[in-house]
Structure 1
Amino acid sequence: MRRDFLNLKALKRSAIKHHCNKQLAIYEKAHEMLKEGWKTKDIDTEEIMSIASKFPQLNVKVMIGGDIFIKSKRDTWIIKDESRFLTLYHKDIVQMKSKDTYHVQDVFYDLDFALASIVAHDDHSMGIKTRELVHIKQMAYEGS
């Protein structure tokens, strides 16, 4: 997987400028991961596809350079390895039309939890089910 790096300063400036608590929370979470010295596990395409196979409702492709492109029931996503964490980028599909740009949705320690969060996001957006954090963790690590 290619290693990128999210511009945390730009994310923080944008959060403050637009009074966006969600962006500020993502900034704080990523900043805390950096302070802890966390590093993501270096995984290859085969491992990525093995993890993705636990989520048959997602269409997962590993792009040249290691970015992961995901098409879910409702939206499109990109996961980038930032070396210290995985950044999940989200693009809404509104009435079968795609919005123009991706935005940072969240940051994660591992791919399993990021993919489980995408499934939970779709289910919530479509009014199917709202999951608590414990249920998302179960889906990610126990295959529920």
Structure 2
Amino acid sequence: MNAIDYLREEIKSYFPESSELQLSGDFAQHRRFNFYFKIKDDYSYLLYLNWDGEYDQFILKCLEFVNEEILEKLIAAYPETGAKTFNLGQPCLTVSFIYRGENKLSVLDFKGPVDAEIHSREISGIKLMQCVDPELHKD
């Protein structure tokens, strides 16, 4: 299993209502480095996974939108307009990491509420998902 497939499976496992957004037309024919995941219906958060394209370095962000109605409109536009659609989202939780194997993720940087376990620098897939889970980090 490659890194992208592993991370997709981790997202789907941790967020069972999630779905990966798919591009259409010419966009779908190009190699992708950005992946977006709707976490669940009627929710103002979206997951964004960025791959550097060569190495196994990634950024996983939870983007927050003003409300779920705006996000639903953007999701509907995404297949035809691509990644620029989500520029309105504000990153609220971000983890950059290197994939070293299943459940072997080396954290490079973390932005969000402080979590002591992150300082170990090597985390599992489930811990990565907890880092970007907006439900765990609400005020």
Same-fold status (TM-score > 0.5): no
- TM-score, normalised to structure 1, is 0.41
**Whose strand fraction is larger, Structure 1's or Structure 2's?**
2
